[in-house]
Chain A
Amino acid sequence: TQLLEQSPQFLSIQEGENLTVYCNSSSVFSSLQWYRQEPGEGPVLLVTVVTGGEVKKLKRLTFQFGDARKDSSLHITAAQPGDTGLYLCAGARGKLIFGQGTELSVKP
């Protein structure tokens, strides 16, 4: 059983479209991180959310932590080909619990 369910696992969209990636769990996390990984490289930390209901923005990326700290979402506005990559959410419960990842492809 996956502790942190991430969806969708694959997403292929056209440049300019909006998208949302979800991470859901029945467990409470003390914090949640979002990472982006490109092929052949390690994940790069995008953001950490700590407080229930917290919203953080990073240019065209908006991250939200659920009120109960069990779920999170990543919304990308006007996606660009440079956004292509594997997006990973990870919840902190003593150690990091990773979601399955979302493989995003943005076509020009």
Chain B
Amino acid sequence: GAVVSQHPSWVICKSGTSVKIECRSLDFQATTMFWYRQFPKQSLMLMATSNEGSKATYEQGVEKDKFLINHASLTLSTLTVTSAHPEDSSFYICSARRGTGSYEQYFGPGTRLTVT
């Protein structure tokens, strides 16, 4: 068990439009999900922590009005990139933590966003 899916796996959008990325835990309930951004050949950069039923906690330097996060259920979190610009092009990865007593995170396959 511990499978996390992301949809879409890749998306191309025009500058100024908004894009929604879904993250689902398929076989477990995740009270906490995380959103990361990753540039080529680099490590993961945490953007925000998403807790089911409450507001997300954003890392310093991440614009909460630009990267809208919703964690409406124990199996689904969404990241909406609003008014996307070419500099938002990146690989976005979500992860889910199973249970509250574990720090193990299970990652989705990622979403490649390209803004033209």
**What number of B residues sit within 8 Å (CB to CB) of A?**
21
A96 touches B105 (CB 8 A): yes
Q: Tell me the interface secondary structure of chain B in the complex.
A: strand
Interface size class of A (residues with CB under 8 A): 20 to 34
Known A40-B112, A42-B109; judge A100-B42 contact (CB<8 A). Answer: yes
Q: Would you list 15 pairs from A and B whose C-beta atoms are within 8 A, ordered by A residue?
A: A30-B103, A40-B110, A41-B109, A42-B95, A42-B108, A43-B93, A45-B105, A45-B106, A95-B34, A96-B46, A96-B103, A98-B43, A98-B46, A101-B41, A101-B42
Residues of B within 8 A of A (CB): 4, 6, 34, 41-44, 46, 49, 91, 93, 95, 103-110, 112
Residues of A within 8 A of B42 (CB): 100-101
